[in-house]
Copies of this chain bind each other. A is one copy, B any other.
Amino acid sequence: MRYLKNAWYVAAISREIKQGELLSRKLFDQKMIFYRTSAGRPVAMMDRCPHRFAPLSMGRVEGDEVVCHYHGLKFDCTGSCTHNPHGDGKIPNRAVVTTYPTVERFGLVWLWAGEPEAADPDTIPPYEAIDDGPETGVGYGYIKMECNYELIADNVMDLSHVDFIHGPLIYTGGNLAPQKPAFSDHGDSVVTGWNWVQQQPMGLFNDFLPQPDTPARHFVQVTWRAPCNMVVHVGATQEDGNGYDEALESRDHHMMTPETEYSTHYFMVSRRNYLVDNAEYNEGKINGMMQAFLEEDAPVVAAIQKEMGDLTIDEMRPAYLAGDPGPVLCRKKLARLIDREIDEGIMATA
């Protein structure tokens, strides 16, 4: 599959990776295991024993090491074999498991898919907003999508679809499609956005506005960053003028990581600035949003994936509409980055 190798991808939500337990997850067509050392560091390793290729996920964690189920080889968190219970116990040269650089940040475990020496934590997306506020004001979600990750970027970048396929929680009432969205190229990111007045405010915000069920000014701004990390900053206000000083806001971080060419791990982190101390509302909100993606977006993008088969979007020759310049530019930027890697002969560890 074609993907950007020298890049950070979200491999898991922090809470998914535990001490003493193995999480098995396929990324970029490669099965990997994840566990957490006693010092709390998340480890990512190919899910394959170098002896007879039993999946390490069938084995177990012992302290900071992984033990293969089949013949008991032990590996430390660098992938080196530390114990061979066979014969004279000498460690064969090939008894090494590929590991992947990881960094834990913003409650997420980021994995570097490319050359380990190029892994620079400073290039992890600047999602500090996630950490800005109490735990009860931020929600984490995960679903699996049966489509290529770029189809999800198309979906999030062109929010005009919200006018059509979504229910009351993120209701936009037909206000986005008629607009030509603002749209700007920032080199390593692309930003698109809409502003509008909604007679019946969006479900997310309505109850918390000064005057529910009466018109409010809304905005939404989507920021894409290669390979496929996006922030949807959305808000509503009833204050006078054009400002958003008193706006109710949600910053929804959408991070798409390829599982295969035709399936994607979809992570979401939603941080809001209202009712931030309510754990129950917090959980309901993230679950409601994930439910909306699962029930309303997922069937459409999966069906599109089936229609496309192994053709590219260009080979399909789409009829583009007013909301498409954003997603089209994102695809172009990513394609250029991947082409450059191919030219430079950059190889992933996998």
Residues of A within 8 A of B (CB): 31, 48, 50-55, 58, 69-73, 81, 84-89, 92-96, 154, 158, 160-161, 163-165, 174, 177-180, 299-300, 303-304, 307-308, 316-323
Contacts and interface: CB of A to CB of B under 8 A. Distances in A.
Given A70-B300, A71-B164, A161-B70, A321 B88 contact: no
A92 B319 contact: yes
Given A51-B319, A58-B299, 9 more contacts: A31-B307, A55-B307, A69-B165, A71-B177, A85-B174, A86-B323, A87-B323, A94-B319, A96-B319
A319 B50 contact: yes
Contact of A178 (B71, B85, B299): B85
Nearest to A321: B86
A306 to B, nearest CB: 8
Contacts of A316: 53
Contacts of A50: 318-319
A83 to B, nearest CB: 11
Q: SS class of chain A's interface: helix, strand, loop or mixed?
A: loop
Q: How many copies does the complex hold?
A: 3
26 contacts: A51-B320, A51-B321, A52-B304, A53-B308, A53-B316, A53-B318, A54-B303, A54-B304, A58-B300, A69-B164, A69-B300, A70-B161, A71-B161, A71-B177, A72-B163, A72-B177, A73-B321, A85-B177, A86-B177, A86-B178, A87-B177, A88-B322, A89-B178, A93-B319, A94-B318, A95-B319
Contacts of A84: 321
Contacts of A154: 52
Contacts of A299: 58
